[in-house]
Amino acid sequence: MNLAQAPLSAVLRVARVRVIAGQEAQARQLEEIGFLPGEPVCVMARGLWGGDPLAVRVGLSTFALRREEAACIELEAPDA
């Protein structure tokens, strides 16, 4: 499952950040703001029209991400 598919309020963990070839800068940016393997993450809200953007909490920080960005963040169960 990726972050764009995560249910609201479910606390999961970042497994890895995955992007298509040629967009490594996007992965680096997501990692720089805290989307690192093992970090707890939670989708707090989705935009009304089309579900964009997502309000996402990672660690102790909250960010707005587009669904395209959130889809790059693969998740795992918190006890995995």
The pTM of the full predicted model, rounded to 2 decimals, is 0.89
pLDDT value at 3 more than 60: yes
Q: Cα(1)–Cα(26) distance, rounded to whole angstroms? A: 19
Give pLDDT, residue 34. 95
Cα-Cα end-to-end distance for the chain: 13
Taking residues 25-43, what's their average pLDDT?
94
Q: Could you tell me the two tokens for 54?
A: 């997502």
Phi, psi for 15 (deg, rounded to 5): -90, -45
Taking residues 19-38, what's their average pLDDT?
89
Over the stretch 52-63, which tens digit does the pLDDT of each residue have? 999 999 989 999
The larger pLDDT score, comparing residue 37 to residue 23, is at: 37
The partner residues of 16 in beta bridges, in order of sequence, read 74
